[in-house]
Amino acid sequence: MNYTDLFRATLPETVLEIAALLVLVVDLGFLRKAALETRVAVAALLGAAGCVVGLWAVAFAGAGGLSFGGEVLLAGGGSAGVAQCGILVLTALALLLLIGSDFTSHAGEFAAVALMAAAGGMIIAAAQDLLVIFVGLELLSLSLYILTAFAKKSGKSAEASMKYYLFGGMSAAFLLFGFSYLYGISGSTWLPRVVCGVNNAAAHGGAPLLAVALVMIAAGLGFKVAAVPFHFWAPDTYEGAPAPAAAFIASVSKVASFALLISISSVALHFMESFHVSGDGTAAFSAQPPQITSGFGAGWPLIVAVLAVASMVFGNLAALVQSSVRRLVAYSAIAHAGYILLGLAFFSWTNRSAEAVLYYVLTYGLTTIGAFGVVGVVERVTGSDKMDAFLGLNKRNPLLAGVMLVLFLSLAGIPPLVGFWAKFNLFAAVLEAAGGVVPFALVALAVAFSAVSLYYYLQVLKRVYVMPGVDESPLRVPPFALIVLLVIAAAVVLLGCFPALLQGWIASFY
């Protein structure tokens, strides 16, 4: 490693940190006396601009990554590149939705913290070393706790942040404890060596210790992606956090965490691949798929599959009885995490699974940001996020209602919206990666539960379109927010009509 490499590989994160500082300087330095609206707009636009520069920096950093002593600490290109671009775009959108909101008078700090969280997300998306992973995770998580608490006037926000923090702290402790066991087993913090050591240990009777380590790591990461039974924070946080923060948590943090899960799964598989070849004693690379379907022994896929099924079932069922739209979105997020975990449980040694998971999580992030944007706008006017606050929305603002229709139907997976292709790709990848009865049954279960999910999405849309409204006065939406929401909805429709666009873009990174 030299400093040029370090500078190049971490340029995107550096750009974000500089943008964060710039936002603070401008907001606290030049705009102290400006109106709140101006400050919010400037902070959001500056932050979004930082993300755009970050996109350029990702391209500049390229596929080289960062190595230290022959060990790749930060990967470049591939899933990491896709996830980093996704994080930047979603962060920019979440920040743009901030414009027009009034929950805080500390606009600059909010944007700065969000940018730092995004930097943390980008680190964990690329990290290949346990310590780097942990540092990135903590940067992301701590920023998120702060973002959740940002609505100082709201007791709910503080409560949600406290719960989130306590739950997150405990999960982080589990994760770190699990990491320390892995280090103890393998003697290294570099993922490939860890996998190697773990497989040696599994072969020599170290199973119970390994099981404990894996479960603890699953708890730590399950918390990040809100998988059952590590999901308890999600409904409270989604309900209490300010809408832009909730949108950020539901999208950016999800993308980063799933990118981390992808790199763990693919490192495990690629290691197995080379192990398989050298085991034959041949020097030539063999394109045969490995015999063992995942590293870490057979334990990791089992845990992930259990979490996936629990999340799908619990998330969808619990969403059925919610009366608050935010909680509904939270439980549906748990369900979506379940589907994605299914894709990670049956991971393919080719890029197919990674691409399908990324496709899902990126499009899901996009749709959720839009959904929270709509909820935020409605909430600001009606003062409530209950389903009944959406009564007669079609009459009050047809454009907003149309955006909501597109986004919710996409979340439910109705063709030709992008949510359909995401599910289709993901389930196809699962069935391609693993034959047999169990994956098939789980995919069938997932499809069945997507049908269940349609019910609660339609419950909201029924209020928007069918049921008579109480208040039919026009609902004013800040024009800028409406434009952002329309762009998101248009993207959901367009990417759905031309699924090859995003697929091709993702594939171009490998």
Partner 1 sequence: MIQEAVSFTPQFAVAPVTKILWLIPAAPMVAAGVIALLKQPQRRTAAWLAIGSLSFSLLLSLMAFAHVVGGWAAHHAVRETVNFTWMQVGAANIALGWILDPLTAIMLVMVSFVGLLIFIYSVGYMAHDENYTRFFCFLALFAGAMLGVVVSNSLLLLFMNWEIVGLTSYLLIGFWYQKPAAAAAAKKAFMTTRVGDVFFFLGMVWLSAQSGTLLFYNHGSGALEGLALTGLLAQHAALGLTAAGAIGLLIFAGAMGKSGQVPLHVWLPDAMEGPTPVSALIHAATMVAAGVFLVARVYPLMQDGAAAGGTTTALIVVTWVGAITAVFAALIAIAQNDIKRILAYSTVSQLGYMMAGLGIGGVALGMFHLITHAFFKSLLFLGAGSVIHGCHEEQDVRRMGGLRKAMPITFGIYAIAMLALCGVPIFFSGFWSKDAIIDAAQRWNSSVVPYYLMLFGAVLTAFYMTRQVSYVFFGKWRGHQPAHESGKIMLWPMAILAFFCVALGIIGTPAWPWFDAFLGNQAAHLQMGAFASSEFLMMLLSATVVVLAGIGVAWWLYGNKSPAAGEPDALEKATPWIWAGLRDRLYVDELYGATVLAFYEWWGRVSDWFDRRVWGGAVAVVAWLFSLWAELNRFLDEQWVNGGFDKGCEELSNGGGLLSEVENGRVQIYLRILALAVVALAILLIWSSRA
9 or 227: whose CB is closer to partner 1?
A: 227
Task: Work out the number of other CB atoms within 10 angstroms of the CB of residue 357.
Answer: 28
Shortest Å, Cβ 68 to partner 1? 32
58 or 418: whose CB is closer to partner 1?
A: 418
214 contributes a contact to partner 1 by CB under 8 A: yes
236 contributes a contact to partner 1 by CB under 8 A: yes
Specify the stretch interacting with partner 1 by CB under 8 A; choose among 118-126, 206-214, 276-284, 476-484: 206-214
Among 207, 444, 448, 451, which residue interacts with partner 1 (rule: CB under 8 A)? 207
Among 211, 292, 317, 414, which residue interacts with partner 1 (rule: CB under 8 A)? 211
Q: Which residues are bridge partners to 66 per DSSP?
A: 74
Tell me the C-alpha distance between 239 and 387, whole Å. Answer: 13
Shortest Å, Cβ 339 to partner 1? 19
Among 68, 232, 480, 505, which residue interacts with partner 1 (rule: CB under 8 A)? 232
Q: How many CA atoms lie within 13 A of 275 on its CB side?
A: 19
Among 303, 389, 403, 406, which residue interacts with partner 1 (rule: CB under 8 A)? 303
Determine whether 251 is exposed, middle or buried from the number of CB atoms within 10 Å of its CB (0-12, 13-18, 19+). buried
28 or 215: whose CB is closer to partner 1?
A: 215
Q: Which amino acid is at 379?
A: E
For residue 53, what are its two tokens?
A: 């520069």
Among 62, 155, 187, 229, which residue interacts with partner 1 (rule: CB under 8 A)? 229
Tell me the C-alpha distance between 507 and 293, whole Å. Answer: 22
Q: Find out whether 477 and 484 touch, Cβ atoms under 8 Å.
A: no
167 contributes a contact to partner 1 by CB under 8 A: yes
414 contributes a contact to partner 1 by CB under 8 A: no
216 contributes a contact to partner 1 by CB under 8 A: yes
25 or 302: whose CB is closer to partner 1?
A: 302
Shortest Å, Cβ 316 to partner 1? 17
Q: Which residues are bridge partners to 67 per DSSP?
A: 72
Decide: helix, strand or coil at residue 206: coil
Decide: helix, strand or coil at residue 102: coil
For residue 481, give the nearest of 37, 82, 57 by alpha carbon: 37
Among 63, 131, 166, 466, which residue interacts with partner 1 (rule: CB under 8 A)? 166
What is the rounded radius of gyration, in angstroms, for the C-alpha atoms of the chain? Answer: 22
- Torsion-angle region of 348 (φ positive above 0: left; ψ -120 to 50: alpha; else: beta): beta
170 contributes a contact to partner 1 by CB under 8 A: yes
99 or 400: whose CB is closer to partner 1?
A: 400
Specify the stretch interacting with partner 1 by CB under 8 A; choose among 161-169, 279-287, 370-378, 440-448: 161-169
Peptide bond between residue 229 and the one before it cis (omega within 30 degrees of 0): yes
298 contributes a contact to partner 1 by CB under 8 A: yes
Q: Find out whether 40 and 107 touch, Cβ atoms under 8 Å.
A: yes
For residue 44, give the nearest of 89, 94, 95, 102 by alpha carbon: 95
Specify the stretch interacting with partner 1 by CB under 8 A; choose among 229-237, 248-256, 339-347, 458-466: 229-237
- SS3 for 437-468 is HHHHHHHHHHHHHHHHHHHHHHHHHHHHHCCC
Shortest Å, Cβ 505 to partner 1? 12
Among 47, 76, 108, 299, which residue interacts with partner 1 (rule: CB under 8 A)? 299
For 169, phi and psi rounded to 5 degrees?
Answer: -60, -45
- Cα-based distances in Å from 503 to 341, 362, 363: 20, 11, 11
Binding residues for partner 1, per CB under 8 A?
162-163, 166-167, 170-171, 174, 207-208, 211-212, 214-216, 218-219, 229-230, 232-233, 236, 297-299, 302-303, 306, 421, 428, 432, 498-500, 503-504
